[in-house]
Structure 1
Amino acid sequence: MTHPFYFSAQLTALLLLSFNLVALSTAVAATQWQTISPNIQFLEQQRALRFYDSNQVLIEGDKCALMFDASGDFAAVEATVKQLKSTLKTPLCYLVASHFHDDHLLGMAILQHHFPDAQLIVHQQLATEFSMLQQTYSNKLDSYEKSIELSLQRLAQQPEAQQQHWQDKLNLAKQRLLRWRQYQLQPPQTYVVDSLTIDLGNYPVTVNAHLAHTNGDLTLGAENHRILVGADVVDWLPYPGHGNFNNWLQTLTQLHSDQRIKIILPGHGSVLKRNDLQQPLNFLHAIQQHVKNYPEQDLVQLQQSFDQQFAKDYQVDEVARKAYPLFLEAGLKRVKQSR
């Protein structure tokens, strides 16, 4: 039986492909740092990888800093580490992993290596299953090693003038792999059952636990609920393959009606406003209702008969045209299996 920690095979393939392509490059994909408030930096993933790698959020008070989530691109995490070490005015005291998916959690191994005193905070459910995740980290490095081996085999097929260029890239990739093999994903020191308030130094934040996008999600509220760090719970195009639909819809409905919220920082994509939550609400509700209305249809039929307006809303570029059908299929399958 497939453990819930794993994505569908198709989505996993896309995630691994994007990871390997970036990791093999000498140039790390640029993450855009955006100042949300004097205390909050939003590290938005480049648009071409917005469905396959996560955003991060850096919050800094007078005494401590907190990093919410870690990229699944380990080379990009190392670039973030370099910037953190040159710009942080306070110690990095806390690392918060919003949920178990690779692109939010596994990069924590790199952050933990460079900031060993930082406490890792996770949902209670994730804490109980955390021992499995070191193997997930190792598996990802194994896939990276295989991509290096495949590239080495293909090197001789490259024009002679380009072989040295690609050999240099592969040498760098092998150096990175050896370095990352030495790291460990350290277990969390703190877990959240309901909510946890942390004072970063004249700057309190509240970490809240949910069962929504997965069986163990964390969000974070700051500045008297004005700013919501929502991770994948609030994504414009949500991945519903592991979601608890009833709880997720309830959570989104509550957030959508909370007029204190002005700014939402999602796990994927650009900054949102509170009213933007109507889109994922509509999408998730439509998936749930569609399966209920047509219980006799298989997955292919359900996809074909699904409201085409969502395809028009979501498939705005080539990346979205690839991601949307996979996300829709995952949601339909999830609801069918839950019935």
Structure 2
Amino acid sequence: MTHYFYSPMKFMTFLLLSCFCVAANTTAAPTQWRTISANVQFLEQSSNLRFYDSNQVLIQGDKCALMFDASGDFAAVETTIEHLKNTLTTPLCYLVASHFHDDHLLGMAILQHHYPDAQLIVHQQLATEFQTLQKAYSDKLDSYEKSIELSLQRLSQQPEAQQQQWRDKLNIAKQRLLRWRQYQLQAPNIPVSQPLTLELGNYPVIINAYQAHTNADLTLSAENHRILVGADLVDWLPYPGHGNFNSWIKVLSQLHSDKRIKLILPGHGGVLKVDDLQQPLSFLQAIEAHVLAHPQQDLTQLEHSFDQQFAKDYQIDEISKKAYPLFLQAGLKRAKQSK
């Protein structure tokens, strides 16, 4: 199982983002808290971070609250916790990690420290391998430390008038790092392999387990299936580098035909409707069919001969122009390996 950021772009930019978010106390647009219903809040990442960090979903019943996923930016998690402590009217009873990718799981260590009674829910497959994930948390902190060191080395290159400001930011980053080093990613309390119903207090939710985007995915249904919290399994531009194409396509087809679903909250990007699932479904189907139809082509050839309509559909701004080819490459490689 791979424990690092799940796309080549994420991995290559990780140190830069770490320095930006941790050392520099990022000035990027903050997470947007969007009210989906009386019980559901959608914590949507700003558009320029939509391929780098995950959305979260807060669900609150009369007796319990549940947080679905955790940001990969630990400073942002602490900001979220401050908000929760000022606004939650019920205990935070459950934490749900949709899958093992860093930007959905590792921030749970920060939440677990502040809410030690909250029960962590993961896929059964992830639970069996969970002991290795503490190293992923430590490795991420090591990357933060390297970013701080690099920033310190470059401090002298900054205009003299700005150096004190950067020293102050780096001191804050050091304090955060020392604090996070004291935390641990605690083992899950509830592994899921079959549909699990949780009663939050006059508000039941259903957690479902799949092997699609990864080998250990969870989704959540609420309000009689009207709201689907689908994480990366339902992303408009899906990352297929670790997925099971056959299973993923089957699940997306089933969800696409489920007319009970009115709103979909993805792991990355904005709110979707059920008809929007046709786009990621078509993308995955096209990748699988393309690799099958051209068994002699290498990855570069497959990329060049792939249907250019998807590039037109997906490359709508500068960040997606960078993301799309990397996601396509990962999907073609995964599909080729699976044959």
Q: Same fold (TM over 0.5)?
A: yes
Which moved further from structure 2: 24-33 or 77-86? 24-33
Conserved 8 A contact 2:53-2:72: yes
- What is residue 308 of structure 1 aligned with on the other side? 308
Identity of aligned residues (%): 73
SS in 2 for 1:178: helix
- What is residue 209 of structure 1 aligned with on the other side? 209
Offset at residue 19 of structure 1 (A): 3.4
Q: Does 1:218 align with 2:207?
A: no
- What is residue 53 of structure 2 aligned with on the other side? 53
Measure, in 2, the Cα distance between the counterparts of 1:75 and 1:179.
11
TM-score by length of 1: 0.97
Q: Aligned partner of 1:168: which letter?
A: D
Measure, in 2, the Cα distance between the counterparts of 1:106 and 1:135.
10
SS in 1 for 2:117: coil
- What is residue 163 of structure 2 aligned with on the other side? 163
Measure, in 2, the Cα distance between the counterparts of 1:269 and 1:68.
15
Q: Does 1:137 align with 2:137?
A: yes
- What is residue 23 of structure 1 aligned with on the other side? 22
Question: CA distance change for structure 1 residues 19 and 147 in 2, over 3 Å: closer, same or farther?
Answer: closer
Question: CA distance change for structure 1 residues 190 and 38 in 2, over 3 Å: closer, same or farther?
Answer: same
Offset at residue 319 of structure 1 (A): 0.7
SS in 2 for 1:100: coil
CA offsets, 1:8-64, max 9 Å, x none?
554312244323311222246400000000000000001000011000000000000
Offset at residue 4 of structure 1 (A): 3.0
Conserved 8 A contact 1:42-1:55: yes
- What is residue 117 of structure 2 aligned with on the other side? 117
Conserved 8 A contact 2:20-2:26: no
1:1-339 mapped onto 2 (5 Å cutoff): 3-6=1-4, 7=6, 9-27=8-26, 29=28, 30-339=30-339
Measure, in 2, the Cα distance between the counterparts of 1:120 and 1:65.
13
CA offsets, 1:202-245, max 9 Å, x none?
00000000000000000000000000000000000000000000
Which moved further from structure 2: 122-131 or 18-27? 18-27
Measure, in 2, the Cα distance between the counterparts of 1:42 and 1:229.
9
Offset at residue 129 of structure 1 (A): 0.5
List runs of 5+ in structure 1 lacking aligned partners: none
Question: CA distance change for structure 1 residues 261 and 16 in 2, over 3 Å: closer, same or farther?
Answer: farther
CA offsets, 1:60-86, max 9 Å, x none?
000000000000000000000000000
Q: CA RMSD in A?
A: 1.1
TM-score by length of 2: 0.97
List runs of 5+ in structure 2 lacking aligned partners: none
Conserved 8 A contact 2:41-2:58: yes
Q: Aligned partner of 1:13: which letter?
A: M
